[in-house]
Amino acid sequence: MKLKTTITLLLLALSSQLSAVTNEFEFGERVNEQRYLSYINKIRCLVCQNESLGSSRSDLAIDLRSEIYRLMELGQSNQQINEFLVSRYGDFILYEPPVKRSTLMLWFGPFLLLLLFLVLLLLRIKKMKHQTSELSASQRQQAQALLNPKSNQHD
């Protein structure tokens, strides 16, 4: 019974937090509200870094949400808002930064590292196959002695 009560309280707390972001501003049309909510979830909070602007409670996130709302009310497109935010905060604010010279390692670095790892792994496997594991006569006798202790006792 305690578990159900705890879970209910947690869900209520979460739902109130989510509705707080939604009810932060007055929207004339449902479409604008949906656009706003979708957009702020694609922008990174610069304070929290692993949280979207929509889920962050930091002061900067609150200010940026207000600025985004203002820009949307002025009729700016998502692209224009992106340009505004990137000019002030850099590409890091976008969860999906554009592919350009300064972000090439961000986009292709993980694939290059994976490729490098696979090449090194294949070279290692190839090297292991070419290593000879032939035993000398004395090594073979020692191995036989270790594997067959009973035959050694009769000698």
Averaged pLDDT of the chain: 83
Question: Residue 89 has which token pair?
Answer: 């905060």
Q: What is the pTM of this model?
A: 0.58
Give tens-digit pLDDT for 4-21: 777 776 666 655 454 445
Domain ranges of the chain: 2-98, 104-153
pLDDT tens digits, 17-30? 544 455 577 777 77
Read off the pLDDT of residues 114-148 as tens digits, 9 standing for 90 and up.
999 999 999 998 888 777 667 788 888 888 888 88
CATH of domain 2-98: 1.10.8.640
Three-state SS string over the chain comes to CHHHHHHHHHHHHHHHHHHHHHCCCCCCCHHHHHHHHHHHCCEECCCCCCCECCCCCCHHHHHHHHHHHHHHHCCCCHHHHHHHHHHHHCHHHECCCCCCHHHHHHHHHHHHHHHHHHHHHHHHHHHHHHCCCCCCHHHHHHHHHHHCHHHHHCC
Residue 84 confidence (pLDDT) = 95
pLDDT confidence of residue 126: 86
pLDDT in tens, 29-84: 777 888 999 999 999 998 987 899 998 899 999 999 999 999 998 899 999 999 99
Say if residue 100's pLDDT is above 70. Answer: yes
